[in-house]
Structure 1
Amino acid sequence: MARDEGGATDSPAAAYVFRVTVRIDPEVEGVWTEPDTFETTVVRAADSPGDPGWLYFRDNLWRGECGDEAHMRAVAEDALGMPVDAIDFRELRTTQAYLDDLRAAMADDLVEFNAETVDAALSKYLGSSIHVTDDI
């Protein structure tokens, strides 16, 4: 995403939203935090349909939840640089235009999703966790 002169980033057309429990684990003896965990929202920009990485939902989600929580915790830990105790998929936040492009790309190769319709494929991976909005 590009940054403007003020440092703000252009909004992506869609993003995956997760609720994550992060653990603060000080490395200095005699230092601790209270509480030692907190919840935060982590947002990952969705790649445009057809671009590398656009199948993120297919590879990581199942029925609107993380398909492999341990793997997703490890991915979040790498991205955040701190231990992650729990991760929960919340939604694909998307513009209508992105969703239309996603549906079209999926329709071009339903075999890829082992589904007979685009709606069935979307439900299989994202459940009912699609939030169409102009404010990503």
Structure 2
Amino acid sequence: MDATYVFRVTVRLDPDGATLDPDRFEATMEIPASEPGEDGWLFFRDRLWRGEIGDLDAFRAFASELLDADVVDASFRELRTDDAFLDALKVEIGGDLDPFNADSVDEVLRKYLGSSVHVRD
């Protein structure tokens, strides 16, 4: 099983004793998805809403810490996954829909990931 959350981030550099031009750049940031049921598997629920970052300020702080650089902007691009991961995710979600306040697995996926799930072989 394999899955990755993909984000577009804008990073600003502010080095001591030097200047940069430009002082910011865009990059693709990929965060491996935890296997369904494992610690961290609810990343999508905690960070995303309808295919967008739910709390941009909190995510920028999180990404800045991960990258050890000042992230000034970010946007969610996709959950890139394979069939096995997506199937396991659906089973795990379906086991308890209450924490998602939803009536179906499909509703949960739409609610948090929008149309940004891309299955690759």
Give the TM bin, normalised by the shorter chain: over 0.9
Task: Provide the TM-score with structure 1 as the length reference.
Answer: 0.87
**1:57 alignment partner, one of 44, 47, 63:** 44
Please list every run of 5 or more consecutive structure 2 residues that lacks an aligned counterpart in the other structure.
none
Please list every run of 5 or more consecutive structure 1 residues that lacks an aligned counterpart in the other structure.
1-11
Task: Provide the TM-score with structure 2 as the length reference.
Answer: 0.98
- Alpha-carbon distance in structure 2 between the residues aligned to 1:108 and 1:66: 25
**2:3 alignment partner, one of 14, 17, 30:** 14
- Alpha-carbon distance in structure 2 between the residues aligned to 1:19 and 1:79: 14
Q: How many residues align?
A: 121
Amino acid at match of 2:68: G
Amino acid at match of 2:48: L
- Cα deviation for residue 112 of structure 1 reads 1.4
- Alpha-carbon distance in structure 1 between the residues aligned to 2:16 and 2:57: 23
- Alpha-carbon distance in structure 1 between the residues aligned to 2:53 and 2:106: 19
**What is the aligned-residue RMSD (CA, Å)?**
0.8
- Richer in strand (by share): 2
**1:81 alignment partner, one of 26, 50, 68:** 68
Determine what percentage of the aligned residue pairs are the same residue.
53
Q: Which residue of 1 aligns with 2:85?
A: 98
- Alpha-carbon distance in structure 1 between the residues aligned to 2:80 and 2:12: 26
Matches within 5 A, 1:16-31: 16-28=5-17, 31=18
Residue 43, structure 1, aligned to residue 35, structure 2:
no
- Alpha-carbon distance in structure 2 between the residues aligned to 1:24 and 1:67: 25
- Cα deviation for residue 27 of structure 1 reads 1.3
**1:126 alignment partner, one of 84, 89, 113:** 113
Aligned structure 1 segments of 4 or more residues deviating by more than 6 angstroms: none
* 1:51-71 deviations in Å (ceiling 9; x for gaps): 010000000100000000000
